[in-house]
Amino acid sequence: MQLELKNLSELKKTALRQMSECWSETAGIVIITAGYYFAFGFMWVITIGVLYGFDFLSGSGNFTKVFYEHSAAVICLTLLFVLVSYIVKIPFDFGVSWFLMQNVRGRAVSAQSFFGCYSNMKRFVRTVRIKFKVLKKKMLFTLVFLIIGAAEHYLAFTVSRNTGNSFWYTLSTVLLILMVCCLAAAYMFFSLRYCLVPYVFALDPDTGADEIIERSIKMMYGREMYMTDVVCSFIKWIVPCIFIFPLFLVLPYLFFIYANAVNEIIYNYSFDSDNESDKKIKDNKIINAVR
Range of the domain at 137: 8-282
Angle, CA of 2, 8 and 13, to the nearest 5°? 110
290 pLDDT band (50/70/90 cuts)? very low
Global pTM exceeds 0.75: yes
Spatial neighbors of 205 by CB under 8 A, at least 6 apart, are 123, 126, 287, 289, 290
**119 occurs within a structural domain:** yes
Confidence at residue 275, expressed as pLDDT on a 0 to 100 scale: 58
Determine what percent of the chain is predicted with pLDDT higher than 70.
75
* φ, ψ (nearest 5 deg) of residue 98: -65, -45
Q: Is 209 exposed, middle or buried (0-12, 13-18, 19+ CB in 10 A)?
A: middle
**227 occurs within a structural domain:** yes
**289 occurs within a structural domain:** no
For the chain, the domain total comes to 1
**14 occurs within a structural domain:** yes
Confidence at residue 93, expressed as pLDDT on a 0 to 100 scale: 92
**113 occurs within a structural domain:** yes
**287 occurs within a structural domain:** no
**21 occurs within a structural domain:** yes
220 contacts 164 by C-beta, under 8 angstroms: no
Q: What is the mean pLDDT of the chain?
A: 78
Residues 47-81: pLDDT tens digits? 777 766 655 444 445 556 666 666 777 778 888 88
